[in-house]
Structure 1
Amino acid sequence: MHAGQVDITADTVAALVGSQFPGWRGLRVRPVASGGTVNALFRLGDDVVLRFPLQPSPADAHRQDLLDEQVNAHRLAGRVPAAVPEPLGIGEPGPGYPGPWTAFRWIPGEIADGSTIGDPDVFAADLAAFVTAVHTLDTGGRPWNGETRGGPLADQDDEVRQSLALSAHLTDTARLAVIWRECLDAAHDDRPPVWLHGDLMPGNLLTTGGRLTAVIDLGAMGIGDRAVDLMPAWNLLPAPARNTYRDALGADDATWQRGRGWALVQAIGALPYYADTNPSMAATARFTLNALMEQV
């Protein structure tokens, strides 16, 4: 999917684990099928999942990103109404893999989609409760960091226009350009920024018995505009549950419009990039864009 992507095998993973985590030596290693775009996943025994960035780097900044993700997992644990990843350790570069990697407790569940969600309104309410809990965490007065999602939507204008130009053969880019201009016209939020999950894609939401039970992948978590976490309204939920989600979060018209904008940013960027390399991500992008175009 990416330039510089590293393919890693179960044998390489087993060797890294054996040399760095002797207590786990001998546990069965098996790859986990995933539509994700950032990490290769391996299950270790029954209770551990290992995450290997597809574009590894020994740079200090890359390692800090992985450490920050584990810090954020501790930040959320016990404070949100769903399970979140439990950090178990961080691995170091070694033979066959040139960067740090992470270990978390395995969380059972099914990826959220139309076949695994029970009552969509109940699911929307469950997800809204999780998002509300995240948004009410203490930020310590910190502002948006200038890097993660959640800054001014207008900062994404060049990227969106470039992605629209690449997608004319894939979707109705004329209609989407109109929607994007409407989103840019939405008033900016003068309220203080909040903690965000930042990447509420279907693949990061786990269900059991049709209900939301876990939210995973905290690598995009940061502080910014609460509208970012409205993206599931278009990337996952059917139209009636979309309104349930909005009502539960109390999103005003401007916030809702910015949420549409963030959903469009993610989807139109993903569609041309993953159209030929990641069918799952491309399908989610198409679902999102269609939902945006269907909304009156």
Structure 2
Amino acid sequence: MSHTEAELTAELIRDLLREQHPDLADRPLGLGARGWDNQLWRLGEDLAVRLPWATESADALLLKEHAWLPALAPHLPLPVPVPQRLGEPSERFPRPWIVTTWVPGTPADRAPVTRAADAAGALAAFLTALHRPAPAGAPVGRGRAGALADRAKGFAEQLAKATDLGLLPDPDAVRAVWEDALDAPPWDGPPLWVHADLHPANILTADGTFCGVIDFGDLCAGDPASDLAAAWVLLPDGATDAFHDAYRPSPDSATLRRARGNAAANALGGLLIADAGERGLPGGKPTWGPPAQAALRRLTGTRHS
């Protein structure tokens, strides 16, 4: 992970606002979160500033959100961060940045849902609304939103690492879920809009249910199974069937098999990120452990320590 040479401070961000969006420059400003690619600073009560600070790809992800999300947001039943302004690269900060609406809530890795039926319905309604045919020119899904075979090498490496670290009570059970997904027929419908990164830190909760979805940097046209995987990772025990009953159109067996494989791969990645956090390694997030363990238990029927 390579961070920008410029230290991101409130003073720097306020200077950038004065230069390019002076009508916003005097609002209260405070650090909201440091993500994989971007830092989020709250700007007043209803806005936020997102600036890339890690990975070269962060610039393109922000520009993609700015280009596509404003048209999608009005059709989504949960609040999302809608881009309002674009910050151009400058001498002070040589990368693009955006001003978005602020979405209140607590990330689900820190505040899991407790109202299972409400959360299942909210997630199903959100994905039903999002999963519409994407227009020509939409970014094409790869990795998590592409063919499962594209993830095979990464899955094998992560499975081996998690096994070596003793994180999995039954690696063969996890492998079996993955191999069954690989054997499932591929998506043969039109490429649909997918979020493609619905891990617990990218969906917000309040009062025991979901209240918002954030970080659309991986937004693309692809296989809806990549998002349907979230049912196993985000929902409490016993809520997956309620989600599938509410989602439209009802997913067929092949799509559910691919979704299970994506869920296993996503949970495996979350388990390793949590382990890195427990050991104090850079980029580690201990709060990702419990949802990853729960997802793998649901998928395999085995208990994780």
For the Cα contact (< 8 Å) 1:69–1:221, is it kept in 2? yes
Instruction: State how far apart, in whole Å, the 2-side matches of 1:112 and 1:266 are.
Output: 15
Superposed CA offset, 1:6-41 (max 9, x none): 45233332332233321122322211146x422211
Alignment match, 1:126: 122
Compared with structure 1, are the counterparts of its residues 56 and 11 closer, same or farther at alpha carbon in structure 2 (3 Å cutoff)? farther
Superposed CA offset, 1:158-178 (max 9, x none): 111111122121422333222
Give the CA deviation at 1:190. Answer: 2.1
The percentage of counterpart residues that share the same residue type is 34
For the Cα contact (< 8 Å) 2:50–2:98, is it kept in 1? yes
DSSP-derived class of the 1:145 partner: coil
Amino acid at match of 1:9: T
Alignment match, 2:243: 245
**Unaligned 5+ residue runs, structure 1?**
none
For the Cα contact (< 8 Å) 1:125–1:244, is it kept in 2? yes
Alignment match, 2:281: none
Give the CA deviation at 1:128. Answer: 0.4
Alignment match, 2:264: 264
Instruction: State how far apart, in whole Å, the 1-side matches of 2:138 and 2:76 are.
Output: 22
DSSP-derived class of the 1:12 partner: helix
Alignment match, 2:280: none
Superposed CA offset, 1:192-248 (max 9, x none): 221112122222223343343322221111111111111221211123111111222
For the Cα contact (< 8 Å) 2:66–2:86, is it kept in 1? no
Instruction: State how far apart, in whole Å, the 2-side matches of 1:285 and 1:96 are.
Output: 40
DSSP-derived class of the 1:257 partner: helix
Amino acid at match of 1:38: D
DSSP-derived class of the 1:85 partner: coil
Compared with structure 1, are the counterparts of its residues 80 and 144 closer, same or farther at alpha carbon in structure 2 (3 Å cutoff)? same
Give the CA deviation at 1:144. Answer: 7.5
Superposed CA offset, 1:112-154 (max 9, x none): 3685635211211111011011113x42367982535322111
Alignment match, 1:99: 95
**Unaligned 5+ residue runs, structure 2?**
278-283
Count of matched residue pairs? 289
1:198 aligns with 2:196: yes
Q: How does 1:76-155 map to 2 (within 5 A)?
A: 76-94=72-90, 97-112=93-108, 115=111, 117-136=113-132, 138-140=133-135, 145=140, 147=142, 149-155=144-150
DSSP-derived class of the 2:266 partner: helix
Give the CA deviation at 1:49. Answer: 0.9
Amino acid at match of 1:45: G
Q: How does 1:1-296 map to 2 (within 5 A)?
A: 3-6=1-4, 8-33=8-33, 36-55=35-54, 57=56, 63-94=59-90, 97-112=93-108, 115=111, 117-136=113-132, 138-140=133-135, 145=140, 147=142, 149-168=144-163, 169-172=165-168, 173-249=171-247, 250-273=250-273, 275-276=276-277, 277-294=284-301
For the Cα contact (< 8 Å) 2:36–2:54, is it kept in 1? no
Compared with structure 1, are the counterparts of its residues 25 and 279 closer, same or farther at alpha carbon in structure 2 (3 Å cutoff)? same
Greater Cα offset, 76-85 or 285-294: 285-294
Give the CA deviation at 1:260. Answer: 1.2
Compared with structure 1, are the counterparts of its residues 98 and 175 closer, same or farther at alpha carbon in structure 2 (3 Å cutoff)? farther
Amino acid at match of 1:149: R
Instruction: State how far apart, in whole Å, the 1-side matches of 2:148 and 2:72 are.
Output: 26
**How well do the aligned residues superpose, as a CA RMSD in angstroms?**
2.7
For the Cα contact (< 8 Å) 1:121–1:240, is it kept in 2? no
Query: Normalised by the size of structure 1, how large is the TM-score?
Result: 0.85
Amino acid at match of 1:292: L
Greater Cα offset, 240-249 or 260-269: 260-269
Greater Cα offset, 14-23 or 253-262: 14-23
Amino acid at match of 2:155: V
Instruction: State how far apart, in whole Å, the 2-side matches of 1:101 and 1:182 are.
Output: 41
Compared with structure 1, are the counterparts of its residues 278 and 258 closer, same or farther at alpha carbon in structure 2 (3 Å cutoff)? same
Query: Normalised by the size of structure 2, how large is the TM-score?
Result: 0.83
